[in-house]
Amino acid sequence: MDVQRQAFKEEAYELLAELETSLLELEETPDDMEQIGRVFRAMHTIKGSGAMFGFEDIADFTHNVETVFDQVRGGSIRVTRELVNLTLSARDHIKDLLDEGGGADEIKANGIIVSLRNLLVQDDADEEAEAEALPEIVHAEPAVPGPVVTCRIRFRPAPDIFASGTNPLLLLNELREMGECSVTAHTEDIPPLKDLDPEACYIFWDIILTTSHGTNAIKDVFIFVLDDCELTIDIVDDGERVVDGAHPDRLGEILVRRGDLSDKHLQKALESQDRLGEILIKEKTASRAAVVSALAEQEQVKKRIAQRKETAVSTSIRVPADKLDQLVDLVGELVTVQARLSEKAATETDADLVAIAEEVEMLTGGLRDNAMSIRMLQIGTTFSNFKRLVRDLSGELGKKIELTTTGGDTELDKTVIERLKDPLVHIIRNSIDHGIESPDVRKAAGKPETGTIHLKAQHSGANVLIEISDNGKGIDAEVIRQKATEKGIIPIDADLSEREVLNLIFSPGFSTASKVTDLSGRGVGMDVVKNSIEALRGSIELVSRKGEGTTITLKLPLTLAIIDGLLVTIGGDYFVLPLASVDECVELPRNRDEKRNGRNILNVRGEIVPFIRLRKEYGIQVDRPELEHVVIMETNGKRVGFVVDHVIGGHQTVIKNLGSAFKKARDISGATILGDGTVALIIDVNKILDF
């Protein structure tokens, strides 16, 4: 039972995430019946499954929300901002119940229930007494749907059925509410107008219904007219057909089985080269309505089989995250062992060993790529979570802000996505508080009253670029300079470019807020963002134009487990530089080693590039070779060179943590093991540039 309860909680969390997205979309399009249906189904599923697995408090609470949205579906209640606010609060309370196991705020829950019932009273005044008589806690019965089946229903009412006050169309509409339904009317028995009795029913119907309610529920629809009609219900697809090779019955087979066509007439029609349906109608061996109904049945069964095939292909399983991490760790170890095998084979003269090493290398590469792809998730889900944040904060500040997104299908390692959420929250909150102006200020500046925050993701080589842009007031570089001078971050006479001035907002303790609020003003935020992004081996870049807006670009690696690196040596020691940031490698003879203004400067095809000697950085005392190499890398929009002794080449780098003993080595992000067992240190380029 514990396993089932845990499975329910996992499903409920997914439904709550979907519910939040649906509610925010519904607020923008209140008449969208599809979104209303999604909200109702999410609540209905949580209620039914919750009661089934012992979460009675969740089922009881959710039933109240479900009741309101049942009336919304029926048109009795309109979707308003108040209803969306209440439902979002209800969603948060359900999440609290899941998180805390029943320890959520009951006072808050009762307030939500009272407000929801008030909506029922206001929008359904004729049932005021009934609404007031509702018990304090409404217990929900678990809804257990049956298997999805496709039925053929033939409903032939008696000619005098109208005399009992029955309207057959109402019965057909009730069937339509039970699932996917197609209705064909047989009108061939309608007599000429001079013989027509206006009080008689000459029509009968064929209905093809795909439903999970079962045949008993279908019979209940006709329970009051069973004595006044001929009713047959046949299951034409029970959902159990073998997927491989499954196909719907042919048109002729359906008509014969129904009794609308004889075997003799079928065989005669099949001898012709024309389409079977056209022949049967032309020769009047089957009515047009019978053929149309049979084709509808064939199409619906075909669709169900195709859906089962798609489901069978896309079936997924839930795997705990720690098992997935363990798999990636094992693959990383395998990559290391494979490198050792390849190096050993390269030193031997055994052709068989070389062939085996090459095959193992190919298989290991495929396994590595597959394991990495399993960890990849679309970032769109994370983007959609921020719609609620923008909605709530803009409402608190009295601003009108719209969040738009593109590139939601861009995939990123799940660990990166998880650790990216907090930095994005900081950036978006800053855009809301500092960037987007109030509606009256925007209107006075000739801008639309509604500001926009746009999230964009796209692949860039082995990295993903995430842009957070707004069309607010932008950042005033002079204000930044003055604040930085006041706080002693820079001297008064500092000669900084506009870009360098803007980057001062990433300094610890820096803030331009004039007062402390719930959102900002404490000097904690953008420095945390920068540190978090660099901890992910990424970089951050800010561009802003006063009066037009700000764009912050995050450059992140696809994965944190395995990276493509550039293997270099310095004095006999091995180091790895992230290959994704490498622009080029150039030679540095001793006679070209120049210093200008106390800095190491290199002229690369007319471009001045500063460089850092890693030998000096790490205190390596071995003599320099005659010919050194400079690895030029691009980081934070700048090109910087790193001087090394030799460039070995590309290397598939499995990252190993150094442990707490090396926590002070801030410019080393990890280590990797080479094929011969030698350890190579992975250099954190961003941290070196910070020193």
Per the DSSP assignment, residues forming a β-bridge with 455 are 405, 468
Domain extent listing, the chain: 2-132, 149-313, 322-377, 379-557, 562-690
- Can you give the length of the chain in residues? 691
Pick the CATH number of 149-313 from 3.30.70.520, 3.30.300.170, 3.30.830.10, 3.30.70.260: 3.30.70.260
Domain 379-557 carries which CATH code? Answer: 3.30.565.10
Class of the domain covering 322-377:
mainly alpha
Taking Cα atoms as reference points, which of 583, 568, 556 lies closest to residue 618? 568
Q: What is the pLDDT of residue 300?
A: 76
Question: What pLDDT is stored for residue 123 in this prediction?
Answer: 41
Instruction: Specify the pLDDT at position 142.
Output: 39
pTM score of the predicted model: 0.60
Asked if residue 673 lies in contact with residue 656, where contact means CB atoms within 8 angstroms, the answer is: yes
pLDDT of residue 306: 66
Contact 97, 50 (CB under 8 A): no
pLDDT at position 520: 53
33-52 vs 2-28: helix axis angle to the nearest 10?
Answer: 160
Q: What is the DSSP string of 622-668?
A: SPPPSEEEEEEEEETTEEEEEEESEEEEEEEEEPB---GGGTT-TTE
DSSP 251-317: HHHHHHHHTSS-HHHHHHHHTSSS-HHHHHHHTTSS-HHHHHHHHHHHHHHHHHHHHHHHHHHT---
Low-confidence ranges of the chain (pLDDT < 50): 121-144, 242-246, 273, 312-314, 516, 521-524
Helical ranges in 445-589 per DSSP H: 477-486, 498-502, 526-535
CATH topology match: 2-132 vs 379-557: no
CATH H-level superfamily of 2-132: HPT domain (1.20.120.160)
Neighbour-count burial of 529, counting CB atoms closer than 10 A to its CB (0-12 exposed, 13-18 middle, 19+ buried): buried
The residue assigned the tokens 């660990």 is: 415
- In 548-591, which residue ranges form alpha helices assigned H by DSSP? none
pLDDT at 262: 72
Please, which residues bridge with residue 542 across strands?
552
Q: What is the pLDDT of residue 359?
A: 92
**Three-class DSSP labels, 411-454:** EEEHHHHHHHHHHHHHHHHHHHHHHCCCHHHHHHCCCCCCEEEE
- Please check whether residue 44 is in contact with residue 65, taking contact to mean a CB–CB distance below 8 angstroms: no
**CATH code that applies to domain 562-690:** 2.40.50.180
> Measured between alpha carbons, how far is 476 from 486 in angstroms, rounded to an integer?
16
